[in-house]
Structure 1
């Protein structure tokens, strides 16, 4: 006779709740009516009318929106610390639960392995002693902490265990299993409650049979009190250490977040200073590999652009105010003169014909001067407006020769010369531009020399192409006068700026209209800029001032036939112009 392994249990079929059974009633159930949906109204909400607009948000949506708004109203530092703390708490909780669960499974597994080792031997020993074996039964030497329960088919039951074990772990209450139930649970340990609260036992059951006939069951168990106490202690330790880690993590996270957000507080302080009017403030720099560094660099770039734009706007407004004031002042003088002479004439103070003639001559001069100023202002306004120009091929050598001819007619005592640039022979230098405007440039430059240099000061005009800038033509107007002081050289191209601000000079040579009011050089700069050129000042070797104008050379075939004809015509004139200018220079 031996304890044989149990057959695998079979699962029985059970009826599902609500499933109809045969013979449940005397007649078949009548078909149920199709349910009709009935609108349900929520207390506090108006029912939606047919064809009305979108439905009113539900209470859950409103609560979610309020919670989201409240969350967004929390400072970023508090939100980050809260998120860090919550993630740390969740991580520690998951780690603690996992650790406690795995530890409990491991310790229970050890108990199961002990049961697997001893229980089968004890059950076999007990079965042999019941059926004639001379050896004592298992109950006579049950190991420490083990409990042995033997039950026969007649209802007899024997429980073997030590009193010390019962006092420490309590008395188990194993189920009274039949041989069939024992076979169903054989070799699969199961938990059994204990008389001591918070403690339980682990049992495994075997069936006893002889000659193929079941005669009883043997159940062997071990207490789980040590396992449960160990798991509780570990859980308490994990909980205590986890709370400490969460507190330390919250403090460390608060410090780290505060330190990380310090640049943002500095940015906030800088923005407040800028809002107060200090546009020179900049955000403290940080490595651009970080988000704060990239944000700071972007903000500093934006602040630099804002400061530059504000400075340009301030300077533009200052120039505009100065421009309006200067224009008003320049117009006030001739208007006052005309008004004064008119009052003298009306009062009869001019009795002699010579007085009348002199008065009208002065009125005419004032009107001419005022008209020239208005023309200059209109010319600058047109240039600022960017109106299209009548482009053609223009030879700078021809313009220079014409200007020197006008200068010779105006002041025959001056020595003049037309030269090639950098000592090279004089050649045609054809540029693409508006001939009328370029003539005004040359006329204003020559007239400026006449106004600001003593009588008889030599004047030289040089035309050519520079070697270091082959795509540009150059026109230089050189004088050998007193020159311009460095503090004035940077501002001579400003509108209404005069080196000698104490008096206003009138008239320009060669038909220039920019003299006296301080607009001549400003018109030169505006015209050259409109032609995508450059104008600059330099010191003439030996004393004096040189004004250099660089203009892009004309490209062959880029202008119309008319421009080509003008270029051909202009190309035939430099030799004549050079001979005229040279003869004038030799004569004086």
Structure 2
């Protein structure tokens, strides 16, 4: 048997209350029925004791006595209740048996035939003057009492148990109805009481639901109002409410500190990137100017100047990337225009084919142009970073497939897939974070600054889209989804702005 499952505390408390009440009602009802049955049975025993053995003793008179019209020719029915049984047993056999007809002495008696089973049941009744219950097939349940007769026989007087059983059964019906109504009323009242008592917990759950729906990861630190004091007041509820409110306070303070720390870090990154652009460009310019000197340069000096030029160019790219991310974090507006993604992908793959001729580049473009509203310069950088990532982190001979499709909802989807070695599992969850590098052909030395994919995710988010990756050995796919029109107004994630603009 499978018991019903109650998924709410309210239902469990109400069900427990009803179960306890039902057990209590059953105990009270059972005790009342048992007590009434015992009381009425004792009354029958007293009535049998008062009646004595006169009626069964009178049954041994011969049936041909003179009729004096007093009704005792076949038995003495005086003071005998209707249905009284009288029986005379000699040698274990019933020799005489009769029942008083309705009407007492006026109605007389009716002789009854006793079969073997009933005879044995009557013969087994102890002659102790105490009441005993027997079940007679022809008469029903009887309460009987036996006495020794003067002739060595046994005299039995009995009264039917039907009135006792009827009274007990009526009490069972009445008690069942009353207790049923009481349980129904208690169930309704108990459900209302439990609901009222659990109102403070409902307030806590509502507040927790509001907090769980807040975009806390995006810098939101304004938590909803604390859980108010509610009736009914109890020590346990006050403890839970106080602990929950203190936890909200700790969370809010931690979020505020984190937000301030991130703002300081972004400000530093933007300021440092902006300030570094001029000296880095100056170093690179002086190195290139020195290389243009008409006079002969020692090989060591020329090699040093070439390395300075290369590293300053690499540092300039990193500074531009950091400045772009800082501006995206700051929510600078996009230069939204109609952008043909198919044409943009074609241009980016052409550039990638020139930069990485050792790879096999495949285009999968639809017949109709896929147009979105976006910042063309930022989207170009997004696609260029994806193709550069595939080129730098896969071995020569890898096939890179770039595809553009229009989804059913109107969003555009750009995928860059390759059959290279794949992204290591520990790296996959952090791939779009800043300064994340891999190693080996999927991230070997000289791979990049570790900012390319973070820029991809930031630009996609600035357009209201997303960037995801799936990877296994021999099949890696980066997917960027862009809505037809970016959302307007404040966005939950940092939005885009100009990158290389001064």
- TM-score bracket for the superposition, by shorter chain length: 0.3 to 0.5
> Structure 1 length normalisation: TM-score?
0.38
> Is the radius of gyration larger for structure 1 or structure 2?
1
